Amino acid sequence: MRVLILGVGNVMFADEGVGVHFIKMIENNFKFNSKEHSLKFVDGGTLANHLTPIMADSDYLIVVDCIDADGGQIGDVYFFDFDDMPKSINWSGSAHEVEMLQTIEMMDLVGDRPQTKIIGVVPRRIVPMSFELSDEIKKSTNLMEKIILKELSNLGFSYERIDDKGVQDMADEWKKEQF
């Protein structure tokens, strides 16, 4: 099985970039192994529709993004199967050009969508040209990490920790590489 971990978000808008920074953190901090499956991490940025070929080439997809949730508090983490998405969840109000929700729905229409799970977190702020993540988002990544490690273990991956960088470290590294 080909497993794809897709981080989505605009890294130049503070908490909006948590999906990208989080998957970079997981990829940096852990070494994954499976005799049966392959694992790929992709920084999807704000590409949405342009990611469909990459997503369609996987058998199992985990999307990490910020979301809105009715009654949700800043830093709340949600994990759900796309087929059973809670009605309280939406992806509106982010800084993506085309929302990931619409991209996944379009893939559904043509029958190209792999089995899809979502790890979503409610952001504190979407601030242009800021790379500083809120304290709530930084704290929420502890739970997000537990969720993704458990899900990958359930799929048959073993892992070992090889580093201990935080999500803000990843945001700082991205900023340093670009500027």
Domain segments of the chain as ranges: 2-169
Q: For the purposes of burial, counting CB atoms within 10 Å of the CB of 77, is it exposed (0-12), middle (13-18) or buried (19 or more)?
A: buried
* pLDDT for residue 100: 81
The segments of the chain whose pLDDT lies below 70 read: 91-98
Q: What is the pLDDT of residue 92?
A: 57
* Rg of the chain in Å (alpha carbons): 15
Q: What does 94-128 look like in DSSP terms, one character per residue?
A: SS-SS-HHHHHHHHHHHT-PPEEEEEEE--S---T
| Percent helix / strand / coil, the chain, rounded to 5 | 40, 25, 35
Say which residues have a Cβ less than 8 Å from residue 162's Cβ, sequence separation at least 6.
29, 30, 31
Predicted pLDDT at 62: 98
**Under DSSP, is residue 132 helix (H, G, I), strand (E, B) or coil?**
coil
- The CATH label, of 2.60.40.10, 1.10.3720.10, 3.40.50.1450, 3.30.460.30, for the domain at 2-169 is 3.40.50.1450
Q: How far is CA 131 from the centre of its chain?
A: 17
Span 127-170, pLDDT tens digits: 778 899 999 999 999 999 999 999 999 999 999 999 999 999 99
